[in-house]
Copies of this chain bind each other. A is one copy, B any other.
Amino acid sequence: MEKIVKYPDGSYKKFDKSNKHKDINISKSKLGQDFEKAINDSNTYYLQNKIAAIYKKPTPIQIVKVDYPARNKARITEAYYKTPSTTDYNGIYREKYIDFEAKSCQEDNFSFERIYEHQIRHLENITNLGGISFLIIEFSKRKEIYILNTPLLVEKYEDSLKGGRKSIPYSYFKEHGTLIEVSYKIPVNYLKAVDKIYFK
């Protein structure tokens, strides 16, 4: 039997009978994974060119049981996904602390169900402490990627808590976000957009 599981980041993974991971044909997932890879490749470019040091944090796992099939080789045999305390990416750029969450959307809006409240509060904390923090949203069908600065994200989120819309539409990103350039050398050149917003 095959099983498909949705992860908190909005991606999907398919597992076969032996529960080995498999590539999955749900386009949303594929695009989400491609998007993550594109950001990681961009970060590798930034690192190798001494532009920035920005890394994806490991997925937090709660380990319950560990086995030792061989000396010095620990095999984890029972573990669970944990809720991340913070965001996916952080690091340093132009001597500033930088922190963001990245999401890929197939639809023309970003639902607040896709992000934890404490992640929004974390981004808010970072901005309050003088760091750079934001959301990166890919609209996968449109092939457009935007940065939304944290104060705007928080404003829309607060609205949603007061009975307002539970998502942010594409049109809002188009009007208030900053478009990220895509190139073959730097797949998601988000630091160029960061320059425009935070270092103008």
Contact = CB atoms under 8 A, between A and B. Distances in A.
Interface of A: 3, 5-6, 13, 15, 18-21, 47, 50, 52-53, 55, 57-61, 63-68, 72-82, 84-86, 90-99, 122, 125-126, 128-131
Given A21-B63, A50-B128, A125-B47, A81 B76 contact: yes
Q: Which among A59, A64, A66 has the greatest number of chain B C-beta atoms within 10 A?
A: A66
A176 B126 CA distance: 32
Given A61-B61, A74-B81, A95-B130, 5 more contacts: A5-B66, A53-B122, A90-B91, A92-B99, A97-B131
A-B interface, 4 closest residue pairs, ranked by CB to CB distance from nearest: A95-B130, A92-B97, A58-B60, A76-B79
A18 to B, nearest CB: 7
Interface residue SS majority, chain A: strand
A128 B92 CA distance: 11
Contact of A66 (B15, B94, B97): B15
Contact of A131 (B15, B84, B95, B129): B95
A85 B90 CA distance: 13
A76 B74 contact: no
B58 A61 contact: yes
